[in-house]
């Protein structure tokens, strides 16, 4: 099963916009991030491509048959960047190491630029990069609430997204109003709902 934030590896030959390939200086093996959204055809997958600059973000669709590998964010939580020594003092990398310790035993992942760098081996994070923490849960009991309460100041430093089979929502919003409607990001768009669990 594929989720938003998963990273796919594929051959750039399937990208029809050849100017995009040149503009992003894409290598033969390309990494893209799966986007939320409904594909225009059942055999396509919506993904996003990123360049070196923050404003280089491009949305497109690729055939499912072109995907060579799917890397889930929870599969990379023990990886270190190929630039570990260089970025050791970056806030995002320090926060990642804290998360490794306190979330051991839970299903969590890394998105954003750090997740992309850990997966692809391509330089992506900067000193100002945000830590995009993903928590995977299919029921309220699967949220590591005791860890969050114990490390409240840590979790207040960044936005955490909870990923369920129905979509994704902000952890902070859920903790403020667990019994009220919250914004759920789905493949058909954001909705206000209480039905956030599978």
Q: What is the pLDDT of residues 121-160, one digit of tens each?
A: 989 999 999 999 999 999 999 999 999 999 999 999 999 9
What is the per-residue pLDDT across 28-58, written as a single tens digit (0 to 9) for each?
788 999 999 999 999 999 999 886 666 778 8
Number of helices and strands in the chain (H, E) = 6, 11
Residue 56: its pLDDT value, please? Answer: 75
Question: What's the pLDDT score for residue 21?
Answer: 67
More confidently predicted of 81 and 14: 81
Q: What angle do CA 15, 18, 22 make, to 5 degrees?
A: 115
pLDDT band at residue 68 under the 50/70/90 scheme: very high
Q: How does pLDDT run across 182-194, given as a tens digit for each residue?
A: 999 999 999 999 9
Residue 3 has pLDDT above 80, yes or no: yes
What is the CA angle 2-120-155, rounded to 5? Answer: 70
Distance from C-alpha of 62 to C-alpha of 46, rounded to nearest angstrom? 7
Sequence-distant (6+) residues with CB within 8 A of 47 are: 8, 32, 33, 34, 35, 59, 60, 61, 62
């Amino acid at each position: 099963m594929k989720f938003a934030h998963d990273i796919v590896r594929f051959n750039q030959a399937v990208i029809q916009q050849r100017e995009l390939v040149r503009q992003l200086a894409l290598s033969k093996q390309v990494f893209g991030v799966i986007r939320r959204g409904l594909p225009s055809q059942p055999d396509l997958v919506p993904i996003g491509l990123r360049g070196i600059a923050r404003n280089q973000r491009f949305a497109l669709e690729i055939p499912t048959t072109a995907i060579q590998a799917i890397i889930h964010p929870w599969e990379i939580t023990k990886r270190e960047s190929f630039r570990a020594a260089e970025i050791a003092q970056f806030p995002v990398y320090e926060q990642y190491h804290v998360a490794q310790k306190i979330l051991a035993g839970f299903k969590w992942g890394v998105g954003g630029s750090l997740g992309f760098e850990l997966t692809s081996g391509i330089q992506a994070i900067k000193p100002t990069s945000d830590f995009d923490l993903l928590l995977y849960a299919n029921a309220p009991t699967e949220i590591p609430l005791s860890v969050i309460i114990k490390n409240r100041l840590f979790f207040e430093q960044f936005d955490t997204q909870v990923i369920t089979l129905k979509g994704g929502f902000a952890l902070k919003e859920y903790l403020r109003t667990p019994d009220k409607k919250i914004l759920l990001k789905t493949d058909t768009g954001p909705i206000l709902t209480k039905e956030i669990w599978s």
